[in-house]
Every structure is written in C-alpha cells, then in structure tokens.
Amino acid sequence: MSESEKVQMVDIDKILVPEERVTSIVPSDTMQELEQSIKERGIRQPLYIMEINGKLILVDGLHRLVVAKKLGIKQVPAIIRKGTEKDLLIENLILNRQRGISDPIGEAQVLQTLVQEHKMPLSQAAKACNISESTARKYLQILKLPQEILDMVRRKEIGLGCAYWISKLEDREQQYSVARDASVYEYTEEMCRARVLQLLRPNVEPEQTGYTFTPQGAPQKVLPRCFLCGEEIEEDPVYVWLHKSCLSILQDAINVGWEGGIGGSQEIQSQPISQSTPTRQEITTPPTPQQIPQQTPTSEWVWLDECHLVNLRTREIRKVC
C-alpha cells in the first residue's frame, strides 16, 4: 500500500470477511493487549480492503475488525483498492507470510484455491505468492491429511515438515498414531521421516545415526557402527580425511584380514609406533624400549601397504613413505 492512498472511514457492517483466507496466529494474551490498546487509543493501523464487484472484502486486519465489533465501534479506518478474488487471495497470503506468524494450513488452502478454482498452474501460483514450488507441492500434499491432524499443525503441536511425512502414509490409523506420538515426544522432521519410512519399509534396517522407535512411539537414536569391527560407537565418532585411493587400500586390507598376506595388511606386533607422526626409519628399525610409550598398545598401528598405516584406536590413516 502506497502512502498516497487515502485512508477512509468505512462502516463496519459493510466489510465482508472471505471464508478462504490466511489469518495470523495471535496468542490470547496478545489479543487482550490489542483490545486494551484499541479501547484507549483507537485503531492506529488502517485495515486493508479490496473492492470486488462493488463489495468491500477484507484483505488484512481481521483481529482489529473483531475487536472493533466487540467494542461497539461503528466505523474503522481503511485503505480500499479495486481488484479480483485472485488478487485478494494473493495479497492476503503475502501480507501474513511477511509478518512471520502466518497459519501454514491457511496458506496451503489459499494456494489450493488458486490452483483448483482460478486455474493457475502451480508454478505460477507459487511465484505469485513468493513461495518456492517445492514448498507449494508440500502444501498441497499436506492438505490430504484429516482435519484433526491439520488442526494439530495450526496449534503448532507438530511441525509442517512432520505433517508432510505423515501425509505419505495411506493408512489413516497410522497417520493418527504418528501424529499423536509426534506431539507427545516432540518429533523433529528427521524423526518423523524415520518413523514413516520404517512403517512404509518395515523390513529395511534403519539408517545409521537415524532413529528407531519403542512400541509407545518414543524415538531412540541409532548408534553408528565402526566400519572396521562393526561394533556400535556410543560416543561421537572421530572423523578423519581419507583419499579415495586410500579407502580402496583399506577395503582390500579388510577383505584379506588383519593376519597379513599378499596385498593385505600385517599387524605390527613387535614394532609399536610412537604417538608422533611415524617415519620410515621408525618403522623399519625396531625402537628401543625407552622409545616405546607406556600407554601405547603394541597392536595399535596396522599396516595397510608399504606406505600407509591405520591406527585402530583413533582410526587415523598416515602415509609414511
């Protein structure tokens, strides 16, 4: 709205509120503060109204309008523009998104109306509303959920991303079950994704560092496994850089086994390596007892080939040639 547009006083009974619209989500205590403010100071921010075929349709300012009616105010300040129903929907959605407190289900319903009733291609409707096409597709997918779950999204009991994954389930009972558990255990989108994929693919092992779920729906983190021994790693894993050619060497060594052999590896039983970077001299010449750190296990370092070692404790790869 430009500053040059004139503010008019409009009879409150002439303002119509469309059924299909996005409404900002305002907490009850904020509504009480708004009521008190309007009671003492009046409406300081004009309502935004669109004239469509001679009718005055509200675009923005529903909460101010509701409070005005409650206080018995007969006229409200407003800025009026002429437009179409399509303009009304787009303007209403954009204004609420810009505030950052918009109702995502309301946005999805407005987008669906633009596509289905106003025959706008999804890409065009998304662009007009400043929404990415991928988000727009998620919105339309979510609207397939039952109303009870959509209301949970409105109340912020479950997130929009979580609702998207729940919508991939075709079984209604599964949808309700996951939605209730997501609310109780405060699922993240990642948790919802893991739960839904396990329901869709029950025979597939869960991803490492993903989640499994108790019969009650409580999420449990899947511990990563060591790629050498297969044991679960309870603490945070240690990451090291590994060149793809070195990975191939390591895989060959694992396939042959740690007993040694042609093309394989040879465990260092009699030549422990110091914690500092090993050198060719250190490896080819057995160290004296004084050079051996007391805390270093004798089998900590393992040969990969003539130039590479791997530390079984730290999983570090070192080039020594």
DSSP secondary structure, 53-89, as one string? TTEEEEEE-HHHHHHHHHTT--EEEEEEEE--HHHHH
Same domain, 13 and 102: yes
Predicted confidence (pLDDT) per residue in 116-145, tens digit:
999 999 999 999 999 999 999 999 999 999
Q: Is residue 303 classed as helix, strand or coil in its secondary structure?
A: strand
Average of per-residue pLDDT across 221-246: 68
| pLDDT higher than 80, residue 83 | yes
**pLDDT score recorded for residue 291:** 42
Beta bridge partners of 57: 16, 50
Range of the domain at 266: 244-319
Query: Cα 292 vs. chain centroid, distance in angstroms?
Result: 50
Percent of the chain with pLDDT over 70: 74
| pLDDT higher than 60, residue 272 | no
Same domain, 32 and 134: yes
**pLDDT score recorded for residue 72:** 94
Last residue of a domain, one of 117, 142, 167: 142
Same domain, 161 and 88: no
- C-alpha angle with apex 144: 143 to 150, nearest 5 degrees? 50
The mean pLDDT of the chain is 81
Domain annotation covers residue 232: no
**Reported confidence tier of residue 150, pLDDT bands at 50, 70, 90:** very high
Same domain, 170 and 95: no
Predicted confidence (pLDDT) per residue in 180-210, tens digit:
999 999 999 999 999 999 999 999 888 777 8
| pLDDT higher than 60, residue 112 | yes
Last residue of a domain, one of 109, 142, 175: 142
Taking the CA atoms of 54, 57, 60 and 64 in sequence, report the sign of the dihedral they define: positive
Q: What does the alpha-carbon distance between residue 50 and residue 53 come to, in Å, rounded to a whole number?
A: 10
Domain annotation covers residue 61: yes
Beta bridge partners of 211: 221
**pLDDT score recorded for residue 313:** 67
